[in-house]
Amino acid sequence: MTGRFLARNKVAIAGFAHSQIVRRPERPLGATAVETARHAIADAGLTVDQIDGFVSAALLPTTGGHDVQDGVSTVTSAWLAQRLGADPAYVVGFQGVGQITGSLSLAVNAIASGAADYVLFHRALHNPPGKYNDNPMVEARGAHQWIAPQGFFGAMPAVAMAYNEYCLRYGATREAMATTVVEARKNGSRIPWSAWRGRPLTVEDYLAQPQVFEPMCRLDADMPVEGVAVFILTSAERARDLPNKPVYVSGFASGYPQEHRATLHWTLDDMMAGGEALSRRLWAATGLGPSEIDLPQLYDGFSPFIYIWLEALGFCQIGEAHDLILSGGIDSDRPGSLPVLSGGGAIGNGRMHGVPQMLENYLQLSGRAGDRQRPGVTTGLACHSTPHYGGVVVYTNDPA
Amino acid sequence: MTEANRSPVPASAEAARGRPLPVPDKSSAAFWEAAGRHVLALAKCSGCGKMTLPPDITCPNCLCTDPRFSFEPVDGRGRIRSWVVMRKSFLQGFDLPFVLVDVQLDDHPHVRIVGRLLDGPAAPLKLGATVKVAFEDLAPDVSVPAFQLDQAS
């Protein structure tokens, strides 16, 4: 696609439901998914027989080599449709890295094309028993042979490598990252379903943490959790006849790595090159620019991604995100700031893998954020993953 | 590479505790055979002649589908673009802490390799510092590329 997204604002979110986010669940993930799906269908003013499309992404994002079982450690759309007793015409799953943004594009395209009228879009995240990422391998095969023999393994060391490159190049301090993480946890502490509700953090708490993958500490990574989010999407016309204020999808773009490297070898330049291409496509598709986004919800599965997305999408100059943050520029309680973590993000909610960014867009733009409702919010965006593997979706409540 | 490049840090104790060993396959056998002789070799595309690492199904430079990579020795000097001090590991068998460096090769600047810095966690590090390849011997004929600060630089 070279220009404007033809289905711009023609598909909308009509309702949602979200489970409690918990560290360790009391029942199987699939049971929570079915119940949350029923709540979302009812929230949209629909019944299950009207749902003719199911779209999701089912990745269990761990390097720990855990067995994957549908309904237990993941929930696919086909599994969920069957347990709801639905008879869908359209069932698909997204296989890429930017799970929420990529799968959302499949749902939007299905409705825009007429492949489905009402799509149930979900994401179910599991926290497997035992260690999340520890891997007992003694033989490094395939892609792992190029990284594991030297001890380079897991996403967090990979992000730490790119983040330290940022620190070394631009002089970013731990205080700037502490401010970022404290902002995420502040907002997450105010969210009733968050795994971190009522548990904000101070800069001193952050600075006292050992740097396990220096320069990163444990608080720079989101906590593995169990939780389910479900959204119901339909056409803009149908959505206007349903109970909730529609939130329209204005466009989306994904990023792709442009350099060949060993698995998980993510460099700062590769992320920014992917981001430059993604950004160009996103603004062309939506006809918007960063200054028109009231609610940029940036992805923070690892806190350094906030710097990367701020700069890649043009919310500040390259190399200046850490200065912006230190001067209060992302404080969601400060008028005029960029509230990039107002929904708490992954660090403030738990590892919901792009859900908090999408949910905050939906809640604020539909006027359903309750005590946290922000005035005058018209247009937002939600990111997932990194700019060179993930994506961005732009939302609005004003389709004119 | 010469005997002078032999690792100053015998790592066989770590390997004995379960540090992961590379398992060569058809695409990588020549790389690990060279590493076993303490030679860093990159994959050279038979079509465009450019080097890459790791080898891919297609050539990342000319995009041909039959790159028939050969592995050719390279100098193994480069510059530190970043590093991480590892005080924890998701893998078993490593003595903590250790330092990983992201090295851009001088003669093949599009190739970057992450390896252990054998000078240890107390070594002075700076952006752009020059390193040279070194090898850790993990088992008979199994050596893994790593890096050492180049004191001459």
Report whether pLDDT(A296) > 80. Answer: yes
Tell me which residue in A148, A262, A265 faces B91 most closely, judged by beta carbons.
A148
pLDDT over 70 percentage in chain A: 100
What pLDDT, in 10s, does the model give residues A75-128?
999 999 999 999 999 999 998 889 999 999 999 999 999 999 999 999 999 998
In A161-200, the residues whose Cβ lies within 8 Å of chain B are 161-162, 164-165, 168-169
Token couple for B32:
């690990």
Residue of B nearest to A155 (CA): B90
Complex ipTM:
0.93
A133: chain B residues, CB-CB within 8 Å: 90
In this complex, is the C-beta atom of A221 within 8 Å of any C-beta atom belonging to chain B?
A: no
Max CA-CA distance within chain B? Answer: 45
Token couple for A98:
């930017």
Provide the phi-psi class of A87: left if phi over 0, else alpha when psi is between -120 and 50, else beta: beta
Domains in chain A, ordered, with CATH?
A: 11-130+224-396 (3.40.47.10)
In this complex, is the C-beta atom of A145 within 8 Å of any C-beta atom belonging to chain B?
A: yes
Backbone angles phi, psi at A185, to 5 degrees: -70, -30
Give the pLDDT band of residue B3 (cuts 50, 70, 90): very low
Tell me which residue in A135, A216, A260 faces B90 most closely, judged by beta carbons.
A135
Angle between helices A155-170 and A268-286 (to 10 degrees): 90
Stated as kind and residue range, the H or E segment containing A397 is none
C-alpha–C-alpha distance, residues A271 and A346, integer Å: 19
> Is A174 within 8 Å of A327 (Cβ atoms)?
no
Provide the phi-psi class of A394: left if phi over 0, else alpha when psi is between -120 and 50, else beta: beta
Tell me the torsion sign for CA atoms A211, A212, A216, A219: negative
Provide the phi-psi class of A194: left if phi over 0, else alpha when psi is between -120 and 50, else beta: beta
B84: chain A residues, CB-CB within 8 Å: 157, 160-161, 164, 213-216
- A142/B94 Cβ within 8 A: no
Q: Which residue has the tokens 């979110």?
A: A13
Stated as kind and residue range, the H or E segment containing A44 is none
Give the contacts of A269 (CB within 8 A, at least 6 positions apart).
Answer: none
Instruction: Return the SS3 of A188.
Output: helix
pTM summary value: 0.95
Which one, of A1, A33, A23, A17, lies nearest residue A232 by Cα? A17
Residue A309: predicted pLDDT:
98
Instruction: Please give the DSSP secondary-structure letter assigned to residue A193.
Output: T
Report whether pLDDT(A314) > 90. Answer: yes
Report whether pLDDT(B5) > 80. Answer: no
A63: chain B residues, CB-CB within 8 Å: 90
- A213/B81 Cβ within 8 A: no
What pLDDT, in 10s, does the model give residues B39-59?
999 999 999 999 999 999 999
Average per-residue pLDDT for chain A: 96
> Is A247 within 8 Å of A361 (Cβ atoms)?
yes
Residue A256's CB: how many other CB atoms inside 10 A?
A: 15
- B23/A150 Cβ within 8 A: no
What pLDDT, in 10s, does the model give residues B80-131?
999 999 999 999 999 999 999 999 999 999 999 999 999 999 999 999 999 9
> Is A340 within 8 Å of A306 (Cβ atoms)?
yes
Tell me which residue in B85, B92, B116 faces A211 most closely, judged by beta carbons.
B85
Shortest distance between the Cα of A266 and any Cα of chain B, in A, equals 10
Residue A68: predicted pLDDT:
86
Tell me which residue in B91, B98, B144 faces A153 most closely, judged by beta carbons.
B91
Give the pLDDT band of residue A62 (cuts 50, 70, 90): confident
C-alpha–C-alpha distance, residues A110 and A11, integer Å: 10
Give the pLDDT band of residue A249 (cuts 50, 70, 90): very high
* Interval A326-352 mean pLDDT: 97
The single-letter code of the amino acid at A317 is Q
Tell me which residue in B23, B84, B102 faces A145 most closely, judged by beta carbons.
B23
C-alpha–C-alpha distance, residues A61 and A155, integer Å: 10
Residue B16: predicted pLDDT:
63
B29: chain A residues, CB-CB within 8 Å: none
Instruction: Return the SS3 of A348.
Output: helix
